[in-house]
Amino acid sequence: MRFTKILALAVALMMMVSPVQAQLVSVTKEGQMPRTISVAGDAMIRVAPDEVRIVLDIIGRDRDLVKAQQSVDETVLSMVQAVQQEFAVKRDYIHTDHMALAPTYVDCDYRRHPDCDNTRVDFITATKGLVIRLQDLSLFEALMTALVARGNREGVTVQIVDVTFLTNQLREHRDHARELAAKAAREKADAVAAAMGAKVLRPLTINVEQANWYYYGSYGNGSYNRRRGGHAQMSQNVIQNFSAGGADPLQSAGFAPGQINVTANIRAVFEIE
């Protein structure tokens, strides 16, 4: 009786598995596995920036909270007026980023006085962030000089937090980079297949990696050559240079903002014969 149950269970399991096996065999019998070639196509577009984003911290210190905050507010107001009146930057391109107040207490370890009270506030630090978007890069150096000059007052420090060069046509450049990467992948597949006596047919799989952008800047808390965006290293098949048009910023403004590198990566598997 026990043997009969085991035999029945075995038959049931075979009936459950056999359709899958038959399907696999039928797929195999329908045709041989296609011969394929896997390739990668990479592209990089070098784009001249058409906008710069400047982030500043205006820092004021005073024993009096009101005076510290007032000196920062007056400095920020003076900067905003200069940017609008002297450089014709729209109000929508100027805004305060953040504001902070921080007390600094007396350092009794440094003063070493028996009557020192480390719970007493030594001074107050007021900080306000200012963000400016400038679309005329020829005015960049003059704008930075004016901002620093407006911040040159007693008890106030202006710190350059970040300077980022941007392009307003990033979407178009990303699409173009992907198109170039796709063409590079196909051309590579054709070249390799032809060299080995084969012919490329249709693509079987296509993997599109996210397009990235990066540039090399020279500002921000005293650090230089800081990279923004993605892909520190890459081997590209296609490099194209684009200009924003107009005068060369190096000649008109005396500085070189560099270029924004927009990259795209395509991974594809083609059928060959």
Residue 91 pLDDT greater than 60, yes or no: yes
Phi-psi region of 86 (alpha: psi -120 to 50; beta: other; left: phi over 0): alpha
**Average pLDDT along the chain:** 77
Q: CA geometry: angle at 251 spanning 139 and 147, to 5°?
A: 25
Q: Which of 73-82, 97-106, 161-170 is most confident?
A: 73-82
18 or 59, higher pLDDT: 59
Residues 215-228 have pLDDT tens digits of 544 454 433 333 34
Residue 5 pLDDT greater than 70, yes or no: no
pLDDT reported for residue 119: 75
- Kindly report the number of other CB atoms within 10 A of residue 110's CB atom: 8
Identity at 262, one-letter amino acid code: V
41 or 235, higher pLDDT: 41
Q: What is the pTM of this model?
A: 0.62
**Average of pLDDT values for 106-120?**
72
What is the percent of the chain where pLDDT is above 90?
43
pLDDT reported for residue 15: 42
Residues 149-208 have pLDDT tens digits of 888 888 899 999 988 888 888 888 889 999 999 999 999 999 999 999 999 999 999 999
- Residue 256: pLDDT band (50, 70, 90) is low
The runs of H, that is alpha helices, within the chain are: 2-30, 65-87, 108-111, 140-150, 170-195, 249-252
Radius of gyration in angstroms for the set of CA atoms belonging to the chain, rounded to a whole number: 32
Residue whose token pair is 């890069």: 137
Q: At what angle do helices 140-150 and 65-87 cross, to 10 degrees?
A: 150
What is the percent of the chain where pLDDT is above 70?
69
- CA–CA dist 245, 185 (Å, integer): 30
pLDDT reported for residue 144: 92
Q: CA geometry: angle at 52 spanning 45 and 175, to 5°?
A: 30
For 58, list phi and psi in degrees, rounded to 5: -100, 120
Q: DSSP for 9-55, please give it.
A: HHHHHHHHHHHHHHHHHHHHHH-PPPEEEEEEEEEEEEE---EEEEE
Contact indicator for 44, 238 with CB cutoff of 8 Å: yes
